[in-house]
């Protein structure tokens, strides 16, 4: 009999909550109409879509009409960055530890004549605010800084960063893909102008996300997908109604249970770290007091992470972003934080979720220690 899997890769994706699936099913069968149709059945489906938008807004602090439904965070990021009208400004500032969706989209604009500044972070994973302030000029169109890093869980002070951007008249894009549904996010109080959301990072369906676009900032976006002119011509295409309903339900559940889940997951994460940091020479990547409760990124010097991942078999962990895990290159996030290539290749990300148990955590820690002992012989 195969051992039951232990899933510790929740930053890559999460298991869908059964209540989310239950909410979605009727929209595959009973309420299958196109939300853009003008007949009564289509209008009924549209009302459910609008309710989902309300749920997203309630969780993240915006207004329902400020959200564009997308296929996920990557599309939302592309729309936000590539679709932004520059109004004479053609300078973008971002960090070296951003997700590839941000970095690659920014570099694409650089190839098209934009000026791009990519700032290094400190060894903690945090950006030096004075270095960031100096980089933002009167020519800066956009500042892109993620709220929570997907590999290390490091949390940036986005409210302070947004103030720096706005002081120079720049817009602030905050990739909150790893934050929404896990920690409090309020686009208004945090001063966020553009923010991608992805349902599958917090127990919703894959292929469903949204882009928050501040109405107060009077942002003009050029659509990246053309066609039927849906969503006020900002993103064409028939709405993925089941996915949108799932996103909305995931937001509704998170609003009610996020704090309780966070406390329990943090205890599990701390237990895991306590067990694993007994390994000689091991250390946490990133400053411990500024990390998301789901994430433990640990370096085990001399232990090849890929070999470890294969050896763990039914225990799912990772050594970087799921979007770039097909390569054996060292993590760009960890090397940007000052780790050597070897240290980055010796690091493993354990990311926990609300379905994990203390039994799983202790079993996983024991297996990791066992393999390290074998590899060290």
Annotated catalytic residues are 323
- Buried b vs exposed e over 132-142: b needs ≥16 C-beta within 10 Å? beebbeeebbb
User: Which 8-state DSSP code applies to residue 331?
Assistant: P
- Give CA–CA dist 157/29, Å, rounded: 44
Nearest Cα neighbor of 235 from 84, 75, 29, 14 is: 75
Strands 315-316 and 6-7: parallel
Are 165 and 41 spatial neighbours (Cβ–Cβ below 8 Å)? no
Taking the CB of residue 109, how many other CB atoms lie within 10 A of it? 19
- Buried b vs exposed e over 205-226: b needs ≥16 C-beta within 10 Å? bbbbbbbbbbeeeebebebbbe
Taking the CB of residue 113, how many other CB atoms lie within 10 A of it? 8
Are 151 and 321 spatial neighbours (Cβ–Cβ below 8 Å)? yes
If 0-12 CB within 10 Å is exposed, 13-18 middle and 19+ buried, where does residue 227 land? exposed
- Buried b vs exposed e over 284-311: b needs ≥16 C-beta within 10 Å? bbbbeebbbbbbbbbbbeebbbeebbeb
Sheet holding 347-351, edge to edge: 283-284, 295-299, 347-351
- The pair of three-digit structure tokens given for residue 283, joined into one six-digit string: 């250390």
Nearest Cα neighbor of 79 from 168, 142, 163 is: 142
Are 9 and 317 spatial neighbours (Cβ–Cβ below 8 Å)? yes
């Amino acid at each position: 009999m195969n051992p039951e899997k232990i899933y510790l890769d929740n930053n890559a994706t999460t298991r869908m909550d059964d209540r989310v699936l239950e909410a979605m099913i009727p929209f595959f069968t009973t309420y299958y109409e196109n939300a853009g149709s003008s007949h009564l059945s289509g209008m009924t489906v549209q009302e459910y879509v609008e309710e989902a938008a309300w749920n997203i807004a309630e969780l993240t602090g915006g207004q329902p009409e400020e959200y564009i439904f997308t296929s996920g965070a990557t599309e939302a990021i592309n729309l936000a960055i590539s679709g932004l009208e520059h109004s004479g400004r053609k300078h973008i500032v971002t960090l070296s530890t951003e997700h590839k969706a941000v970095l690659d989209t920014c570099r694409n604009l650089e190839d098209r004549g934009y000026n791009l500044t990519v700032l290094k972070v400190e060894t903690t994973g945090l950006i030096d605010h004075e270095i960031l302030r100096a980089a933002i000029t009167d020519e800066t169109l956009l500042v892109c800084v993620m709220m929570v890093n997907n590999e290390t869980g490091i949390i940036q002070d986005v409210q302070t960063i947004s103030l720096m951007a706005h002081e120079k008249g720049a817009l602030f894009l905050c990739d909150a893909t790893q934050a929404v549904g896990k920690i409090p996010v309020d686009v208004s109080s945090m001063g966020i102008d553009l923010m991608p959301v992805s349902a599958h990072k917090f127990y919703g369906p894959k292929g469903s996300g949204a882009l928050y676009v501040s109405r107060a900032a009077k942002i003009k976006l050029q659509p990246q997908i053309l066609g039927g002119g849906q969503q006020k011509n900002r993103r064409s295409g028939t709405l993925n109604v089941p996915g949108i309903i799932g996103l909305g339900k995931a937001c509704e559940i998170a609003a009610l249970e996020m704090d309780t889940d966070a406390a329990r997951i943090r205890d599990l994460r701390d237990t895991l770290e306590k067990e694993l940091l007994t390994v000689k020479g091991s250390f946490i990547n990133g400053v411990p007091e500024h990390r998301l409760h789901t994430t433990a990124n640990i370096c085990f010097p001399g232990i090849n992470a890929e070999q470890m991942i294969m050896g763990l078999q039914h225990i799912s962990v990772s050594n970087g972003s799921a979007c770039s895990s097909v390569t054996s290159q060292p993590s760009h996030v960890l090397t940007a934080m000052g780790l050597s290539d070897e240290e980055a290749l010796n690091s493993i990300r354990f990311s926990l979720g609300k379905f994990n148990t203390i039994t799983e955590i202790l079993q996983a820690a024991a297996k990791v220690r066992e393999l390290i002992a074998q590899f060290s012989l």
